[in-house]
Structure 1
Amino acid sequence: MSDFAGQTWRVVIVEDNAHTRHHLEQCVRHNPQLVLAASFGTLSPALTWFGRQGADLLLVDLGLPDGSGLSLLQHVRDRWPGCDMLVVSMFGDEASAVASIEAGAVGYVHKDDDATDIAETLLAVKRGASPISPMIARHLLRRMQPQQTLAGATGSATPPNKSSSTGAGQEDPHVALSPREHEVLGYIARGFSYAEIARQQGITVHTVQTYIKKLYGKLAVHSRGQAVYEASRRGLLGALDQPPA
């Protein structure tokens, strides 16, 4: 955490509800490590703004009057890859959460959550966390359950290391993770920062980073959000236990 001492981050907010937007703006303004770079109530001016300049953090709603926040996520991801993006939305369905992660969001917070100061959440994102609402996390954790149930019902005539009816040339869905990698993956899925994972596991932050690097390599991903989505899609999260508090 000392690496970020004295550092400030430029934040852009895109939220159509004036009351909510004002609250988010105040949270950002009252934190000395955050600078409110811009705030918009609709999609169009936000797209125009990011067409000219970037930011360190984007806080965006999905349901905007003139379009979907997903369009902005995709635009910022492609043009400003160094900008970490967090969704704050009323949409709590699996499709919205997965679409946001695919579009580049590193976190997804539901507006109904009793969340702490959003400024602390934004700072946690810059420290490496991927905050995901418990309701959203449950959707992601259950994403592969129907396929798992079907696989169990068909028996085990096909060995795990053999090609299945999905056809040759497709990815191997079986990713071998060590027990510690499974544990770290579980913490990532629940939004723990590197430092928090290190404390829970009794290891150093450097060791946590090493495990996460191995996870990224095995899942062929490049961010925490992608890792959660890919692990869930492959059914690697369904059997994980809740990490201790």
Structure 2
Amino acid sequence: MAAVGRTGYCLVRPGILGNDGTYKTEIPIEGNRNAPKTDAEMLSEEQRRRQGRCQGIPGMPGLLYFITFDGPHYRLQPSWTHTLALGEQVRCVAVSESFVAVATTGRRRYLRIFSIKGGMQVSITGLEGEPLYLDAQGPLIMVIMHWSFDRSVGERQCKYMLLDTDNGNIVSRGAVPLAPGSSAVWCGFVRYGRREGRVGMSPRTPLVQDSGGVVWGLFFQAFSGICFRRSGC
């Protein structure tokens, strides 16, 4: 996994969550929760643990390796590495002009932000759902997360979060607009504005594309190619 920005690129080893080979099952407790377990209950629990034991998978922590492009501001430390905690797996990565953003999953769902200069972690934010896509441009970060599954229509619903790293505020958050029966496949920014009186896109417009080929603008009107080609629109 890798991401490239204007100031450098980041190579990522996602990591392995791993397990100890124990099938974890919860035994319902009936009656008084503080009542001691009987010998039969203890034996039943031990049997379930033995039946559920299999070959364990050793975990491996995720690793970030950032390399800056040749420049006068980064000659003292042209590269840096950061090792994540065991049990936290990298799902998405994005590189902006001044930071590296990483969305993780596993035991923790975090949005971690690292400074390009030295790799110091400057921010950590908990995510509401499983991260799917991530992009960054300027001070803005957009992350697309899985939210729920609508069984009545068989569609997966997603949410987005737009974060401003300059002040740490959440600019906007909400549901991702998708065509019926489609799923999100890409998110990003465009930096087009108004050209000769024609309506285009505002700078750093966050967009999401679904599997049906439709590009959606978040929390405002999306781009219209027909309107863009017409003068006086």
- Fold conserved (TM > 0.5)? no
- Structure 1 length normalisation: TM-score? 0.27
- Structure 2 length normalisation: TM-score? 0.28
Q: Which has the higher contact order (CA 8 A, sep 6+)?
A: 1
Q: Which has the larger radius of gyration?
A: 2
